[in-house]
Chains A and B, each alone.
Chain A
Amino acid sequence: MTEATRSHFWHSDGRRLSGLSTLLLLLPFFAIIAFVFVYPILQLLVISILEPHPTLDNYARVVDNPVHMRVLMRTLWTATLVTALSVILGFPVAYYMSRAKGTVAALVAVCVILPLWSSVLVRTAAWSFLFQRNGLVNSALMSLGLTSQPFKLLYTQSAVVISMTHVLLPFMILPIYGALRSIPNDYGRAAAVLGATPLRTFLEVILPLSLPGIVSGSLLVFLTAIGFFITPALLGSPQEMMISTLVSKQIREVLDWPFAAALVGVLTVFVTLLAVIFSKTLRFDRLMGNAS
């Protein structure tokens, strides 16, 4: 083989697709994303600033009305609470998962991954059974003697927070697990050999190295919680709306499109800004379970 043919071999279309084929293969993807994702969102943003006439009034109505402001604050607070609860509940599970072996590891993984692939409606429905007046939570509390009267649990913000944490917990556990798995075992052993207590090893070696996973999981949970619709709509109180349920009400009952569009605008811009700021830490591919 001459030098010329060899270089032709490596630089021919044997390795790289031609520009035209690349474009043709990408075309369906860009077309569907443009028409079914970018266009409808942009159309809403345009409506929010152009209707009934070019104005920022629709956005002013979000900020000026104390009721709407309370909805925004409640949404942020709920998302923060759900994120914090997910870290507290999720980190130890991720840590345990990263250390477990064999059957135990498989069992824990199934418990974390199965809910991720089961319907949000199934999980929300389950909580609405559990939170009934005569449901499991109330009967457990009463049989433990903690209360003599059943609590009103359904249609409260607590119900929303608990079930949202339940639904979003896997989104926290998997990124933290990914980060913990990438810490070599030698680091912990080295710290132990040098005389660090297990607690100190954890605080000074494991925790700092797992921080990217915690940040990534927190963002994922927070971003999803901000726009969550099903759980607040089914378990929350109509007096304590979140932004998504307010949007739904504006469209289905009030039919106020420009205002609903402005609400969607606030939500979309806020979420996109957060995602851009933290774009380096977000690792979505880890969610598919092939974090290799």
Chain B
Amino acid sequence: MKPPTDRGSLALGAYVYAVLAFIIVPLVIVIPMSFSQNDYLAFPPSGFTLKWYSEYFDSRQWRAATWLSVQVALLTALFASVIGTAATYAMIRGRSRLVTAFQILLIGPIIVPHIALAVGLYLFFQTIGLSGTIPGFVLAHTVLTLPFVVFTMAAALGKVDPNLEAAAMSCGATRFQAFRLITLPLVLPSLASSALFAFIISFDEPVVSFFLSGVRQKTLPRRMFEDIEQNLTPVIPAIATLLIVLSILILLGAHVLRSRSVTR
């Protein structure tokens, strides 16, 4: 290559790494801060302590919020992956005239701002008594995560040869047996990773949770929002560090699942 290209690519590299630093530094900066002995979040952090972690684990309020979010996220992952997979399977294998309606309704929850849905659900759920309840959170989060499940499952199911099911059925299997014994094992890694993504989207979801949380039933993001808004205690970096570790684990899990997938 000619020298000008080299100088150009050097400059490009420097620019790109500066932008990557801008992306990643604010995320990892909370990790050293979570071990700092300073009570007032000054930079640079000093000393080493685990007291913010024990404050989080010892607090009844933080534990209650975390447990609520775990339950909601697990149920959301279950519902979204089952409902989303069923619908995607029907769209791919069925003869439905609802394709356009399906596609429009699918991107709806991505296009429409979460604040709009949050306010709408706040009003609706209050009239039917679902506000601040686990079923209420799960229904809302299922809607928000369904598009991601469907995109993942559409990619996976689209790659399964329909003749495999046809062959099983011509050998006497029912449609359900053909799905369960042939197609499901082939798309299982994608199904598991879409459930992982649904879990983390629900677990971290701040806006709808913010409006649906009651005085007593508060999700972890809602508790964090209040803490950041009101007094910004050093417990926040500790929780943030734990959440980053959780995100890394989920991404690693999804990566392992994808590398095992036959339909990749």
The A contact surface, by secondary structure, is: helix
Q: Which residues of A contact B30 (CB under 8 A)?
A: 122, 125-126, 129
Q: A14-B169, A44-B116, A229-B114 known; A117 and B200 CB under 8 Å?
A: yes
Is residue A41 within 8 Å, beta carbon to beta carbon, of the partner chain? yes
**Given contacts A93-B19, A117-B200, A169-B23, A234 and B147 within 8 Å (CB-CB):** no
Of B115, B120, B225, the most chain A CB neighbours within 10 A belong to B115
Chain B at the A interface: SS class:
helix
A60 CB–B CB distance under 8 Å: no
Contact: B152 with A288, CB < 8 Å? yes
Q: Is the CB of A275 within 8 A of B111?
A: yes
A128 to B236, CA, bound (A): 11
A2 located at the interface, meaning its Cβ lies under 8 Å from any Cβ of chain B in the complex? no
Indicate which residue in B108, B139, B155, B243 contacts A122 across the interface (CB closer than 8 Å): B243
Nearest opposing residue in chain A for B103, CB measure: A279
Complex contact B83–A29 (CB within 8 A): yes
B95–A29 contact, CB under 8 A?
no
Q: A118-B204, A198-B5 are in contact. Are A251 and B90 (CB under 8 A)?
A: no
Q: Which of B19, B204, B207 has the largest count of A CB atoms less than 10 A from its CB?
A: B19
Q: A125-B240, A128-B228, A267-B113 are in contact. Are A43 and B12 (CB under 8 A)?
A: no
Contacts of A89 in B (CB 8 A): 19, 22
Residue from A16, A35, A126 with most neighbouring chain B CB atoms (10 Å): A126
With contact pairs A17-B93, A43-B123, A128-B232 given, residues A123 and B146 touching in the complex (Cβ less than 8 Å)? no
- Residues from chain B with a CB closer than 8 A to the CB of A52 are none
| B155 touching A248, Cβ below 8 Å | no
Residue on B nearest A120 in the bound complex, by CB: B206
- Interface stretch (choices A62-70, A107-115, A204-212): A107-115
Chain B interface size range: 35 or more
With A22-B94, A115-B23, A272-B112: A126-B240 Cβ-Cβ less than 8 Å: yes
Q: Tell me whether A257 is interfacial, beta carbon within 8 Å.
A: yes
For B175, list chain A residues within 8 Å (CB): 13, 17, 21
Please tell me if B221 contacts chain A, counting CB pairs below 8 Å: yes
Q: How far is the CA of A268 from the CA of B210 in the complex (A)?
A: 19
Residues on B with C-beta less than 8 A from A280 are none
Q: Does A74 contact B (CB under 8 A)?
A: no
- Provide the residues of chain B in CB contact with A264, threshold 8 Å: 115-116, 119-120
Q: A25-B90, A117-B250, A125-B228 are in contact. Are A40 and B120 (CB under 8 A)?
A: yes
User: Inside 8 A of B94's CB, which chain A residues have their CB?
Assistant: 16-17, 19, 21-22, 25-26
Chain A residue nearest to B139 (CB atoms) is A36
B58 within 8 A of A: no
Give B253 Cβ to nearest chain A Cβ, in Å.
11
A95 within 8 A of B: yes
Q: Write out, one digit per residue, whether chain A residues 1-40 have a CB within 8 A of any chain B CB (1) or not (0).
A: 0000000010011111101011101101110110111111
CB-based contact B244/A118 at 8 Å: yes
Interface contact B8-A134, CB-CB below 8 Å? no
**How far, in angstroms, from A223 to B113 measured CA to CA in the complex?**
8
B181 at the interface (CB under 8 A from A): no
Which residues of B are found within 8 Å of A19, using beta-carbon distances?
94-96
A119 interface contact, C-beta 8 A? yes
Bound complex: CA of A112 vs CA of B250, how far in Å? 15
B10 to chain A, nearest CB (A): 12
Q: Is the CB of B112 within 8 A of A26?
A: no
CA distance A29 to B93 in the complex (A): 16
Closest 4 CB pairs of A and B: A227-B113, A40-B120, A22-B94, A25-B90
- Beyond A93-B19, A244-B113, A268-B116: 12 further Cβ-contacts under 8 Å? A15-B93, A16-B94, A17-B93, A29-B102, A32-B142, A123-B27, A128-B232, A198-B8, A230-B210, A287-B151, A290-B152, A290-B155
Q: What are 19 A-B pairs with beta-carbon distances under 8 A?
A: A14-B165, A17-B94, A19-B95, A25-B94, A30-B98, A36-B143, A108-B20, A114-B248, A117-B247, A124-B228, A126-B240, A134-B43, A198-B5, A234-B225, A251-B211, A271-B112, A271-B113, A284-B151, A288-B155
